[in-house]
Amino acid sequence: MSAQTPRKRITTRDIAAMRQRGEAIAMLTAYDATMAALVEMAGVDMILVGDSLGNVVLGHDTTLPVTLDDMIRHAAAVKRGSARALLVCDMPFGSVTDPSTALANAVRVMKETGVEAVKVEGGLHMVPVVEQLIAHGIAVMAHIGLTPQAVHQMGGYYMHGKDETSAERLRQEARTLEAAGAFAIVLECVTPVLAAEITRSLAIPTIGIGSGKDCAGQVLVVNDLIGLNVNPPPSFARPRADVASVIKAAVGDYVSETKAVRGPIPLPRRAD
């Protein structure tokens, strides 16, 4: 294969094959074309256009204000910057309230962005939505455990599956969503022991975030990974770089140089 030959895009069948042969799946978020190209060059298997863009790009406290138009705009940009990774777009809060609404909105996402799959947050109550999307040819990644779109209903951000009632509910949700046709399931902030148990019980891959090392794959917010934040990242995210400091230093040098080289600029003389 020549260096100029584009690589084949990863598909849901490829992801399933990775799970079957025990190969770990690396997933990161991206919200624009440049970041999509960079994380893909580094070898990620899947890119999530996450509604976390509400926090890290748009400046909201939660993901709830993110709109379908926001997701479509950013997912389309990620598609333009990507050629290989499987692309998954979050369905934002309020866009999957019932199967018919979910289908109409997911069809719009697929048509207007070119992504390969959508992600739907929620457990048993989302099963009819997942089944409806699958029945109409849309690949679905499920998401259970901590679901940020339900942060107010849940009462905050915390680890899930600590007690047996919560653990059994998560087991049932994972099995049912797999049966409904989801090609993968995100486990967010699920106790590592339970996440490992759920992973072993499923044929489809689990993608962990804050759920330990024994899921079939992992996803992180790219800003947390590279240290591109003004606030500390979650405790489970270990930054591999400090991009924020690099940006601040570069901009500081630019500001100092600009002021030193170009100023003071005298005002024009006014005629008396």
Query: Is 90 assigned a ligand-binding role in the annotation?
Result: yes
Confidence (pLDDT) at 231: 87
Confidence (pLDDT) at 255: 95
State how beta strands 217-220 and 25-29 pair.
parallel
Helix (H, G, I), strand (E, B) or coil at 100: helix
Residue 164 bears catalytic tag:
no
Confidence (pLDDT) at 261: 85
Confidence (pLDDT) at 6: 55
Query: Is 45 assigned a ligand-binding role in the annotation?
Result: no
What separation, in Å, do the N-terminal and C-terminal C-alpha atoms of the chain show? 75
Residue 11 CB neighbours (<10 A): 14
Closest CA to 205 of 22, 10, 9: 22
Per-position pLDDT tens, the chain of length 272: 444 555 699 999 999 999 999 999 999 999 999 999 999 999 999 999 999 999 999 999 999 999 999 999 999 999 999 999 999 999 999 999 999 999 999 999 999 999 999 999 999 999 999 999 999 999 999 999 999 999 999 999 999 999 999 999 999 999 999 999 999 999 999 999 999 999 999 999 999 999 999 999 999 999 999 999 988 888 888 999 999 999 999 999 999 999 888 767 788 887 76
Confidence (pLDDT) at 7: 67
Confidence (pLDDT) at 2: 44
Categorise residue 94: left if φ over 0, alpha if ψ from -120 to 50, beta otherwise: left
Q: What dihedral angle (degrees, nearest 10) is formed by the CA atoms of 66, 215, 130, 162?
A: -80
Confidence (pLDDT) at 272: 65
Query: Is 163 assigned a ligand-binding role in the annotation?
Result: no
Confidence (pLDDT) at 1: 41
Closest CA to 93 of 30, 19, 143, 24: 143
Confidence (pLDDT) at 132: 98
Closest CA to 139 of 15, 12, 18: 12
Q: Which two tokens stand for residue 17?
A: 């094959």
Strand partners, 143: 121, 186
Question: Where does 98-242 have alpha helices with state H?
Answer: 99-113, 127-135, 151-154, 164-180, 192-201, 222-226
Catalytic site residue from 23, 131, 188, 197: 188
- The whole-angstrom separation of Cα 17 and Cα 134 is 19
Query: For the chain, which domains are there?
Result: 12-262 (3.20.20.60)
